[in-house]
Every structure is written in structure tokens, then in C-alpha cells.
A and B are shown apart, each in its own frame.
Chain A
Amino acid sequence: MPDYDVIVIGAGNGGLTASASLAKRGAKVLLLERHNLPGGCATSFIRGRFEFEVALHQLSGLGTPEQPGPLRGLLGQLAVLDKIEFTEEDTLYRTMVPGEFEVTLKADRTEIIAALKEKFPDEADAIDKFFDLVWEFCMQMVSIFFMRDPEASREKYPIYCKYAIKSSKEVLDDYFKSPFLKLAIASYWGYVGLPPSRLTFMDMAMLLWAYTEFKPFHIKGGSQALSNAILDTFIKAGGYPRFNCGAKKIIISDGKVKGVITETGEEITCDYVVSNASTISTYMEMLDEKYVPDDKLKMLGSRSVGPSGFTIYCGLDCEPQDLGIDVSTQFISLNTDIERQFASWRTFDRPEMCGMSCYDVADPDFSPAGACQVAVINLQFADHWLTIPPSQYADVKYRYAQALLDIVEKVYPGFGDALEEVDVSSPITHLRYLGHPGGGFYGFEKFAKDSNLFIPPTSGIDGLYFAGAWAGMAGFQPTLESGVSAAKAIYRKMNK
């Protein structure tokens, strides 16, 4: 008898839902996490009187109780819905080019269209047509993949087949003239980490559609509350979590998973492993080279590590309205050239855009009375960060942060004076806390070739499964779902 049925490596979103689903179905599960608490990205930390949300800007896929999204069902099954509370945002975002342009899009298709038409009356027709396209595309995608239409074909789903992997830029250019209009519609590009020229239409359309239909949400107590709640389900179902205990090696024998060796050298046996660590470190560090299938080595080498990010966590000693902040999520760009903004993620050059989330707009209790919390973020790849000598790291970090704060100050004068607590995370910070190459919290880059249309979901090793952003789509909803899928696959196999 092995010590455990399943060992789950990593307590990020994917690792947590995998562990909890398996334990709830009666499997004997050990969850190993190198950090001292659950969540991975989905965590928080305290500075002064603020508890800073690390990652969650907008939760997708939850939906309302009346119109539930896929995530609501999943969290219900994991018995976490009644343990935590969510706050709905009524707005998708505000897009701004300071001094030139500004539009706010509510989380409602009719209102989005009205707001855009008001700004761009010349393009009213195109706006209608574009949103028809997006909604029709997403409905077709839902029928094919979520309803699993057994008779799916190109004839039946022409829009899907025509547009799925087209570049978003091509479609936006086809429909629209104004660069401001294109910027406003493509504003979620940072959530995938690719500019419109590289972003598939499928990804852009799904983001717009899903956040509109299922609304963006925040979590009371932040994403740490979600992580704690899932872990609670796991513990109550008899699962055993171990923190401060990384996995070092996965033991293989006779071509099958046999167990895990921890960073302290302890050998623990099991039949299945779910890795929520990056696929790169799982194959390259945890498995003996002789067990890594050649095609996996090629797959890893043919893909590029996605962006990490740079966030300034700001605790302000005023209410959002004192500064005029009246929407939760904003994208501020100094120009409309997204391609150029994307290129700047590889340099320390002055940033030209930032995202800004104020958590107290939708949830006035998020911070103490008279105070509020804002996260200012721009994505960054890690490569240039890895070239800085350690002794200069702090200086570089502050310089880059100041440049981002200068952008915010343009829109909200007085922001800098209201700062009471500030901390900054860089790609190096994410690398340290997640153990992922390049601190990549989206996993690999998400070009068309990286979508699950092309990447087989299996590990190539009997008994080894993956959950999380490196093995599928990134973001809260997809990674939470990925863990449940891994659990189902294992459960099916255990009961054969």
C-alpha cells in the first residue's frame, strides 16, 4: 500500500481544487506546498492596517445566483460558497488616455454599446455588428465545447471556425477606424498578456463576453479567503496539507509514478501525482531525465515563458471618492499603441500604461474606514530583471514603481500624497513566491499555438497529471477548473 493515493504538489488554485475534489471523493491525499500558506498567486499580505490582495483584479465566470456561471457550480461542489462572500462589480472597466480620451464600460452588453456609440457616433453600425459577432462567436463556442455538441462541424458553426484563431487586430481593423475605439474594446489584452496582433479573437471575445455575462467579482477578504476556504474543505474531507515543504523529485518506477521526495529528503509513496508547479520545473527538475518523453522536451523548448508582473500595492489614507476614483478597474494608457506597450514589458523604459484596481469601490469594507486600497499594475517579463546585480535590485524596483505612480498621478492628482503603506512586487518577487521560471503567473505565453486546440492535455507519464496555468489557460477561473479536471481524470482511473 502506498502512503497516499495522490500527492498534489503546490497549493495554488489548481492544486487546491485538485486536492479538495479528490479528498471529497474519498481519496487519501497529501498536499505539499513550499510556501507557508495556500494560494500561490491567490494570496494576500499585511502592511500596517492594510491587507493587500496580491493577484485578483477581477474574478471571472462566477455569475450571479440567478444567472450562475461555471465557477459558481464548481465552488458550490467544493462547499466553499457558503464560507466566503463575493462582491459584484457593475463595471467592466474604464479605459483612459489622459487628456485625450476616456470611456467607461458597464458589465452589460446594451450599455457597453450605448457608451461606445456615444463616443464614436460615426462607427455606430460597426459597433453593433462587432458585438453581434462577439456574442454569436461565444455562443457557438459554448455549444461546441461546454455543451459538447456531438455534431459540431464547420457548416454548423461557421463563425467559430472562421474567427477562432484569427488575430484580434485583424478583426478590430476590419470593423473600426478610431484607434481609441480599438483600445477601448481590446483593453483586456493584458489579462492574456498579448497585444491584439498576437491575441486570438477567441481569447479577446471570450474575455469580453464572459466578464459581461457573468460579471466581474471581488472576494471579501481577498483571494486568500478563497484559498483558505478550499483548503478548509480539503482538511475537513480528511486531506493532509503540509506547508513549508516543497517537492524535489517525483519517483518513477516501471514507467509509473511511485511517489515524491520532499526537499528535506523524505520519500513518500503514492499512485498519482498532480503537479501545480510549472511544467518546466516538473519535467526538468523533478523528473529524472530518462523519464522525460522526447516530445515533451520539444514541447517545452518550443514554447516561451509568459509575462510576470510589476504591482504597486497602495494603501491610501482616504476614501476612493476623495480622489475621484469611482470605478474598480481602470486601464490608463499614455497612447493607443498597444503593440508598443507590449514591447515595453521587456525593458525598464518608462512604462506607457498601467492597470489600476481599487477594491473599496465595490466593497467599502475592504479596507478600514477612511482608507482604501489600490493596486497599480503593469506586466513585465523577467529576463531584464534577472540581469540586475542583487545589490541594485531595490533601486531599480523603486525607479520603475515611481514611473508607474507618475502615470496615476496624472489622472488622480494627490494620489502620491495619500499613500500610507506601499509595497512593490516584481517578476523576481513572483519567481520567489511561486517557484515558477520567469515568475510567470500566466504560465507559457498564450499564442494560438499554445491553446488547448493544439497542446495535448496528457503528461506522457503514467500517473502524472497537471493543474494550473502552465498546463492550460491562466487566470483564477481556468486554473480552479483545471484542478477539478485533473481530479476527475484521476478519479476515473482509480475506479477502473
Chain B
Amino acid sequence: MTKQDIRQQIEGYAEIQAEIEVLRKYAHDRRADRGTVDRVINLLHPKELKLTVSEIIEETASSKTFRLISADGYLPPFQAGQYINIFVNLAGIRSSRPYSIASSPSQTAYYDVTVRRVEDGFVSNYLLDEVTIGNSLTSTSPAGLFYYNPLFHGNNLVFLAGGSGITPFMSMIREVTDRGLDRNITLIYGSRDPDDMIFKDELEDRAQRHGNFTFIPVISEPPPSYSGHTGFITAELMQKLLDDVKDRMFYVCGPEEMYTFCLPELDKLGMPKKRVRQEVFGPPKDITMEAGWPSEVKKDDTFEVQIRGGKTIPARADEPLMISLERAGITIPTSCRSGECSLCRTKLLSGEVFQPRGVKVRKSDRQFGYIHACMAYPLKDLEIML
């Protein structure tokens, strides 16, 4: 006897066969559902956004806000604190930089991104100096992990901002105050100079109108007549400003130096890891200063990177591999450019790279030789697979 036979001898077999006949007779027509999966995905996470610059607002001497509207009709929702990665084609190179959305998520008619000039910066200077109203841009859809999570953040939030690091907080502050959400926010905003504080007027205004939002500027190089808080954001200052730090959730966003300074201060306050959220900040200014960088490799050492099945390109030791690839006309998927999102995950077949601490490479990815190209610096000649 064959297996087929025993199947038919199972009790209830005939009844199920009959049921199947009926179900097939009245089958749902799946042709009607075509495209559903893509439609659902595109409502929340379209692959690419086509944007038009609809307004440009001068914020301070060094920064502007670009109001971006959709060129094809739809901007997906986001959580206050998320960013988009904006692509540019510049000097024959296609590259990108992430910018936090500063506008409130309560509307998605537009996204505001506020860009501050970075000396010698490739993209910020282009956006500030060349982009005009009506220009087109493309970007990823909103992404990132620096946002409020009601499941464990609580209702008492302290934001530590520095420089352009105010942008994600601006979105959160706008959302909470506009929608009247039940959250208390204290913003401690460090700046060198009181006149170069992005959103200063709006922040003062919102603080005045909303009892649950407190705005505290801290100026590191104050003019002689300045009467507010001065210096840096120290544990002592925070202790003084916040009566009880214990039940607070701290969020930190700013330039590299801000983390090196503020995180130890939060330690001094006794804040456990679970009470501190930090935004990523991209490649460090000088990778050779990072802990663990091998001293024998010099800044301007250049290595060869062979791409399996493709060309061989040069790569400087002090530049992330992703930039060397972009210089050679090769773009790989990217969103955070900070080692966090893993979109640029690339297989290293041979050679060695340096990935600073904090780059979020999975354990087994390390074992099997995957790197995050946006934060991987070549230390030898490499062979990679894209």
C-alpha cells in the first residue's frame, strides 16, 4: 500500500475533502487584493520621498529652515525626533546626510529641517548656499530611534541640547505643547553665544504659554552683560535646576563634544542607563583620536578596496568606507550614516576595518564578517561584497 492510501483511511478524511470542494467553489478572488502589501508599506514607509523646497526661513546667521513638501502628494507620518536622510548630487558625487525633522508630527503637509553650517562641510554648505525655493530633493522616509516611548519614558523629560541638536527636541516640544499632551519637559540648551541659538524666540514664547514646558539656555561664552546661566551643562547645574532628577528621563542630542561632556555629568547625578536616551551623531571629527585606533595607521594612509565582481577603488583611512564608495560613484543603501540602522551592512571578505565603539553591529554579523560601511574605516587593503 502507498502513503496516499493511508491518508484516505484517516477518520474524517472524506468530510474534509467535501469541505475543500465547497470552499473552492466559493473561493475568494485573490486578484482583488493585488497590490495591497505594497500599498500598506508605502503608506508608512515609502522607500524614497520626492520633496520640493517650499519655503526657506533664516533662523540664525549660521542656520536656515527648509520647509519641504511632497512632490507627489504624500508625506508619511513620523514620530517626533526622527530624521530623514537627504540625498544630494554634488560635484559628481551622490551622497546624503540625515537631518532631524523639526516640525511637529501633528501635521505632515510639510516637514521642516533646520540645517546649521558646518565648516568645510560638504552637504550643509550646499544646502545653505545653493538650494532655493522650488528646488527638488529626495530623501529616505523618516527613521531613527530618538523619540518618546510612552511604555517606559514616563512623563518627566529633560532635554539636553547643543547647537543643531535642538532640532529633534523642537519637534517634540511643538507636539507636546500644541496637542496639550500630559508630559513635562525641561529643555536645557547649551550654546556658545545667545544670538546663535536656533529657535530661541519660539522656545521662550512656548515656555511662557505652557506650564509644562521650561526653557533654560546655558551660554558658554556669554557677553559681559549676560544674566542667565553660563558655562556648561554640569551635574551641579542640573541638580540645581531640577529638584528631583530620579524620576526623569534624560535625552541628549548635540555635537560630539556634548556627549563626551554631558554623559559623565549624568553619571555623576547617578542616572542609570535606562534613564538616558541619546541620539546618534555621525562619524567623529577625527577618527584617529578614538579609543582603540591603531597608532601605526595614519590619517592620510590610503588603501585599495576591491569590490567582488566589480572595480577596485582607493579609500582613505580617516574616511568612512561609505564615503570612499560614494566618491567612486557607488551608492549603497543608507539612512542613519551613524552605524545604527544597519542598512549599509556590507560583507568584508578580507582585510580589516576600524569601527568605533557604539556602532551597532549584530553579534553574529561580527562573527561572519559584516561591517556597517558608514562607520567602518579601512586599516588594510580590503575585499568586500556588495
Contact = CB atoms under 8 A, between A and B. Distances in A.
A396 interface: no
A454 B33 contact: no
A419 interface: yes
Interface of A: 36-37, 44-49, 51, 83-84, 144-145, 148, 150-154, 157, 160-166, 221-222, 224-225, 228-229, 231-232, 235, 243-244, 280-281, 283-285, 289, 295, 297-303, 312, 317, 386, 390-391, 393-394, 398, 401-402, 405, 416, 418-422, 424, 428, 431-432, 435-437, 448-449, 453-454
Contacts of B356: none
B3 interface: yes
B77 A398 contact: no
A454 B16 contact: yes
Given A162-B11, A297-B30, 15 more contacts: A36-B333, A36-B343, A44-B364, A153-B5, A153-B9, A164-B10, A221-B363, A224-B365, A285-B34, A301-B27, A317-B273, A419-B151, A420-B274, A422-B152, A435-B41
Contacts of B240: none
B79 A394 contact: yes
B40 A152 contact: no
B19 A449 contact: yes
Contacts of B36: 437
A206 to B, nearest CB: 15
29 contacts: A36-B342, A45-B362, A46-B360, A48-B273, A51-B363, A153-B6, A157-B6, A161-B9, A161-B10, A166-B11, A221-B367, A222-B363, A222-B364, A229-B364, A232-B368, A285-B34, A297-B29, A297-B31, A298-B24, A301-B27, A302-B23, A393-B77, A398-B150, A402-B151, A422-B149, A432-B45, A449-B16, A453-B13, A454-B20
B1 interface: yes
Contacts of B145: 47
Contacts of A164: 10-11
B364 A224 contact: yes
Given A244-B333, A390-B44, A281 B79 contact: no
Contacts of B149: 398, 422
Nearest to A382: B40
A283 B13 CA distance: 28
Contacts of A151: 1
B362 A51 contact: yes
A60 B77 CA distance: 39
A165 B13 contact: yes
B151 A166 contact: no
B272 interface: yes
Contact of A419 (B13, B27, B274): B274
B228 interface: no
Contacts of A222: 363-364
A146 to B, nearest CB: 11
Given A431-B40, A432-B44, A284 B34 contact: yes
Interface of B: 1-3, 5-7, 9-13, 16-17, 19-20, 23-24, 27-31, 33-37, 40-41, 43-45, 76-77, 79, 108, 145, 149-152, 272-274, 333, 340, 342-343, 345, 347, 360-365, 367-368, 370, 385
A37 B345 contact: yes
Contacts of B3: 144-145, 148, 152
Contacts of A165: 10-13, 16
A152 to B, nearest CB: 4
Contact of B77 (A157, A162, A390): A390
Contact of B6 (A154, A303, A431): A154
B232 to A, nearest CB: 25
Contact of A224 (B24, B273, B362): B362
User: Can you list the 5 inter-chain pairs with the closest CB atoms, starting with the nearest?
Assistant: A301-B27, A420-B274, A225-B364, A302-B23, A419-B152
A51 B37 CA distance: 28
A152 B347 CA distance: 50
B342 A45 contact: yes
B278 to A, nearest CB: 9
A419 B28 CA distance: 44
Interface centre among B7, B77, B340, by most chain A C-beta atoms within 10 angstroms, is B7
Nearest to B361: A46
Contacts of A289: 31
A166 B364 contact: no
A428 B333 contact: no
Nearest to B1: A153
A36 B347 CA distance: 11
A229 B19 contact: no
Nearest to A167: B12
A386 B10 CA distance: 39
B118 to A, nearest CB: 27
Interface centre among B3, B17, B274 (most CB of A within 10 A): B274
B11 to A, nearest CB: 5
Contact of A152 (B1, B17, B23): B1
A285 to B, nearest CB: 6
Given A151-B1, A166-B11, A225-B367, A386 B40 contact: yes
A147 to B, nearest CB: 11
Nearest to A366: B363
Contacts of B79: 394
Nearest to A243: B345
B274 to A, nearest CB: 4
Contacts of A154: 6, 9
Contact of B37 (A153, A243, A283, A437): A437
A341 B10 CA distance: 30
Contacts of B361: 46
Contacts of A317: 272-274
Contacts of A48: 273
B1 A298 contact: no
A379 B344 CA distance: 31
B341 to A, nearest CB: 9
A46 B362 contact: yes
Given A225-B363, A402-B151, A302 B27 contact: yes
Contact of A284 (B33, B365, B368): B33
A390 B76 contact: yes
Contacts of B30: 280, 283-284, 297, 300-301
Contact of A448 (B12, B274, B342): B12
Contacts of B1: 150-153
A133 B3 CA distance: 22
Most buried by B among A285, A302, A386, A448: A302
Nearest to A302: B23
B43 A390 contact: yes
A384 to B, nearest CB: 13
Nearest to B151: A422
Contacts of B12: 165-166, 448
Contacts of A284: 30-31, 33-34
Contacts of A144: 3, 6
A340 B258 CA distance: 53
A49 B340 CA distance: 12
A298 B27 contact: yes
A181 B310 CA distance: 63
Q: Which residue of B10, B44, B360 has the most chain A CB atoms within 10 A of its CB atom?
A: B10
A439 to B, nearest CB: 9
Contacts of A244: 333
Contacts of B19: 449
Contact of A228 (B11, B45, B273, B364): B364
Contacts of B108: 391
A294 B335 CA distance: 43
A47 B19 CA distance: 47
A435 B41 CA distance: 9
Contact of A302 (B10, B20, B273, B385): B20
A229 B368 contact: yes
Contacts of A163: 11
